[in-house]
Structure 1
Amino acid sequence: MMQFTENAPPPSLYTAGGGGASLVRPWPDFPTSAKSLQGNFNNAACMEQLLVHCAYAIEANDATLAQQILWVLHNIAPPEGDSNQRLTSAFLRALVLRATRSGCAALASSITGCAAPDHPLPLCLSPLSLAGFIDLTPWHRFGFSAANSAIADAAEGFAVLHLVDLTTTHCMQLPTLIDCLASRYPDGPPFLRLTLPTSSPAPPTLDISLHELGTRLVNFARSRNIGMEFHVVASTPSDGFDSLLHHLRAHHLAGEALVINCHLMPHRIPDESAGSMTTASCTSPRSAFTKALRSLEPALVIVVDEEADFTAGDVVGRLKAAFNYMWIPFDAAETFLPAGCEQRRKYEAAVCWKIENVIAMEGVGRVERLEPKAKWVQRMRAAGFAGIGFGEEAVAEVRGMLDEHSAGWGLKRDDDDLMLTWKGHDVVFASAWVPTTSAPV
């Protein structure tokens, strides 16, 4: 088994065969030392191309070429380097994981000796630590700020606000929403019913149970003079939240404002690329989900998700899409978190988990199946929803939140929706929807 080291040259491009060496795969001007790599390949475009070539080699079970490229990547992309190097290191780890899971014994044996970065440790945080983790960037706070004002508007005139929280952040939006309701309705805020599915397995996770979290939220709401109930339903994105939807049909009360808050969770519902639809008559679970939401006659549906497309059926397509999107969190972390600090390590570990899921996993295990805003707009309209946009109060809330973060973050209004940007690049969108006058047939 071959071990790669910092100074060792890459494996030979030639292998012995028959009467002499035979060329396995041409690679013009392949560098022969770690020092020469830095000048030749140390830029994002070259790193992306190396990752693409490596993915092709792994998919073709070409162990020799995969080893060669992995040696280069290991030397030009240290896990503690600059933002491009850390990004590439994360993809290197993901490709090594994919290779070890490929089922090809020769490839797995060859790759196992590669000095890939260690797998990030699982992130399990206390509620206070998770709140601090989320506050590091506007990635989640953007959706919180945009949604809270719209949710408070939807609750106006209702004695009960029934919030269904489909989120990956373990209810971290709720304290700010409760404060928003308390300030909006000082003489009588609505009673808050909160329903959510069992927690997502993706990091970061909580070190307390959801029921204990619910008790804390109920006590916090009481301190703001808001009555609250907390319900957890055993349901997951893998079945399109079927159990949750059944629960809502059975427990939806007349006279309550039903609000569905979808925050970075919808893309974990299986889509067409998951391979679960085999005929034209089969409905995408995502489309079935949005139609089921419409049948509940909600007062409001909030959809917040990342503006990227990770649904390509081939790993190279997903790698290109992910590389050209996931640079954003690494670049942003570079601006406000010092190298080697624990906060940055944990923040980037969660980003690495997402990259590994996109690249190394297939089937139901690949839950990071992002679709761009345009696709969700199409699904929501087809299900019988109309976009209503966000009011000036919501926009002001978002702008005020962004002022607390580094200057690279921005906001743009896109039709009825809001878009979080980093250095002009689209990051996360937020949209608000209400049922049209009649449901589609």
Structure 2
Amino acid sequence: MMQFTESAPAPPPLHQNPIGGLCLDLSGGKKNQSSIPRAWPWPGFPTSTKTLGSFNNASCMEQLLVHCANAIETNDATLAQQILWVLNNIAPPDGDSNQRLTSAFLRALIARASKTGACAVLAAVATADADLALYTHRFSAVELASFIDLTPWYRFGFSAANAAIAEAVEGFQTIHIVDLSTTHCMQIPTLIDILANRPEGPPFIKLTVPRITSSNTSTQPPPLLDLSYDELGSRLITFAQSRNIGMEFRVVPSESSEGFDTLIEQLRAEQMVCDGEALVVNCQMMMHYVPEETAGAMTQLSMRSMCLKALRSLEPTILTLVDEDADFTDSDLVGRLRSAFNFLWIPYDAVDTFLPRGSDQRRWYEGGVCWKIENVIAHEGLQRVERLESRGRWMQRMRAAGFRGLGFGEEAVGEVKSMLDEHAAGWGLKKEEEGLVLSWKGHNVVFATAWAPSTSCM
């Protein structure tokens, strides 16, 4: 972690919390700046691990991060560095789950500060402290499949969506699956197994996936795959053949930042001559990468809403929508920080139950969370692609686009429960209106919904 020199500005003074603990005076000392000594550390500042430990709880860490964010936004480099010093000492990157979470936010705030006016003096610290290996590890197909199986975070959505898809496509001999997923088709082998064993016999499968063509790899979310899509398609075709299923695999260059316009246009043209197919649109953790901003001056619709309407116009047999149940769309940095802090403690807390410290898989797992935090906190504009919305907001969008909820039957619920039984205690399942919700210790994590075109006019 970062180290400050002896000439660094002093930390803010301390005062007694009425409840009894020590708290930082985060006014920045603006009323009595002349009285703040410039030596480092400030005489009387409690530098011992024992005393700094009084700050080591999630609530205090969150408040420190909020005050640091405010200091960065107001270009108060002195105060920002003071708070960063405290955070650096109470939140080691190899500490408990709260400390590791705070350390990730600390890294993200330093990255943001390095771009901001007087706070740009922290740029060297940000560069020296970055561990790019956390973000850039590329999985082999076997590694990625094994990695995803470690936790219900993705498996929950796979299980729920596959059960809904299997029910919706009963009787169809050809099934066209459009896989909008961040996990590089890792869901598909399990779906192939389900369809191979259906009573009416296996179908023929067409699988279409988008190839994100952005040259800006910093906005490509993990996990990354060390395999070309041509090779991936070849492996999936071979696997399908081993299950007596014929398969076609096609990749369409497209951009999530443009609402998958190219992909949807190709599908629209193709569907005009492909009657009798079941069209499945499978959205797994991908739709929140479509920008939520208004598409243009001539419309009040966001690009997300326009994308959903375009998908509705394809008349899909079923559309499954799975995503994380949080809201990272606040235009205010502090609002996003609070939302992210109060959601992303979950993966740090959960990882302690299934991965040992020091393992590569743990580094990769927490590296993916770090990438998400840095994107939410350190970036703005087109660079900030991690824009989650709540389940309720997505349901509003789906209905407005002309979809109706299908819900999940007892068989689907049973499949998800069986999957959760394979994982540590703490994971739970909630059956909500028109959907299922994965929870960790009672807190919502991921939602799964299934939709079909409504019969009413759009």
TM-score, normalized by length of structure 2?
0.88
- Tell me what 2:303 maps to: 285
Q: Which amino acid aligns with 1:258?
A: L
Which digits, 9 at most, give the CA deviation of each residue in 1:105-126, with x for residues without a partner? x311145347746343412000
Q: Does structure 2 retain, via aligned residues, the 8 Å contact 1:87–1:327?
A: yes
Q: Which residue of 1 aligns with 2:256?
A: 237
Q: 1:320 to 1:392 in 2, by over 3 A?
A: same
- Of residues 180, 198, 210, the one that matches 1:197 is 210
- 1:174 maps to 188
Instruction: Choose from 395, 409, 415 the match for 1:391.
Output: 409
Q: Find out whether 1:268 has 2:289 as its counterpart.
A: yes
Aligned residue in 1 for 2:432: 414
Q: Which residue of 2 aligns with 1:107?
A: 119
- Other-structure match for 1:222: 241
Q: CA deviation at 1:339?
A: 1.5
* Counterpart-to-counterpart distance in 2, 1:171 and 1:30: 57
Q: Structure 1 residues 309, 223: CA separation in 2 closer, same or farther (over 3 Å shift)? A: same
Whether the 8 Å contact between 1:257 and 1:299 is mirrored in structure 2 is yes
Match of 2:399 among 360, 377, 381: 381
User: Residue 4 of structure 1 corresponds to which residue in structure 2?
Assistant: 4
**Which one of 245, 253, 268 corresponds to residue 249 of structure 1?**
268
| Alpha-carbon displacement from aligned partner over 1:334-387 (angstroms, at most 9, x marks no partner) | 112111222111110011101111111111111110000111110110111110
1:60–1:398 CA distance, 2 compared to 1 (3 A) = same
Q: Give the counterpart letter for 1:401 in structure 2.
A: M
Question: Which whole-Å CA distance do the structure 1 matches of 2:187 and 2:179 have between them?
Answer: 9
Q: Distance in 2 between matches of 1:59 and 1:165?
A: 39
Distance 2:8 2:84 in 1: 12
Matched-pair contact (CA < 8 Å) for 2:135–2:222 = no
What's the secondary structure of 2:291's corresponding residue? coil
Partner Cα distance (1:157, 1:290) in 2: 26
Aligned residue identity for 2:270: H
* Structure 2 contact 403–452 (Cα < 8 Å) conserved: yes
Q: Which residue of 2 aligns with 1:349?
A: 367
- Please identify, of 106-115 and 40-49, the stretch whose mean Cα deviation from structure 2 is larger: 106-115
Give the direction of change, closer, same or farther, for the CA distance of 1:110–1:122 in structure 2 (3 Å limit).
closer
Give the distance between the partners of 2:220 and 2:109, measured in 1 at CA.
Answer: 22
Q: 1:313 aligns with which of 306, 326, 331?
A: 331
| Unaligned 5+ runs, structure 1 | none
Please, what TM-score do these two structures have when normalized by structure 1?
A: 0.92
Over 3 Å counting, the alpha-carbon distance change for 1:30 and 1:85 in structure 2 is farther
Is the 1:298–1:435 contact (alpha carbons within 8 Å) kept by the matching residues of 2?
A: yes
Q: 2:18 — aligned with what?
A: none
Unaligned stretches of 5+ residues in structure 2: 14-27, 213-218
| Amino acid aligned to 1:249 | R
Verify: 1:137 aligned to 2:151, yes or no: yes
Query: What is the rounded CA distance, in whole Å, between the counterparts of 1:125 and 1:110 in structure 2?
Result: 32
> CA 1:64/1:408 → structure 2, altered by over 3 Å: closer, same or farther?
same
Deviations 1:258-283 (A, max 9, x none): 010000001000003xxx55658332
- Structure 1 residues 81-114: Cα deviation after superposition (integer angstroms, max 9, x where no partner): 0000000000001111111123x1x311145347
> What is the DSSP-based 3-state SS (H/G/I as helix, E as strand, rest coil) of the residue aligned with 1:413?
strand
Q: Residues of 2 paired with 1:362 and 1:227: CA distance? A: 45
- Whole-angstrom CA distance in 1 between matches of 2:255 and 2:111: 25
What amino acid is the match of 1:269? V
Letter in 2 for 1:402: L
SS of 1:282 mapped into structure 2 = strand
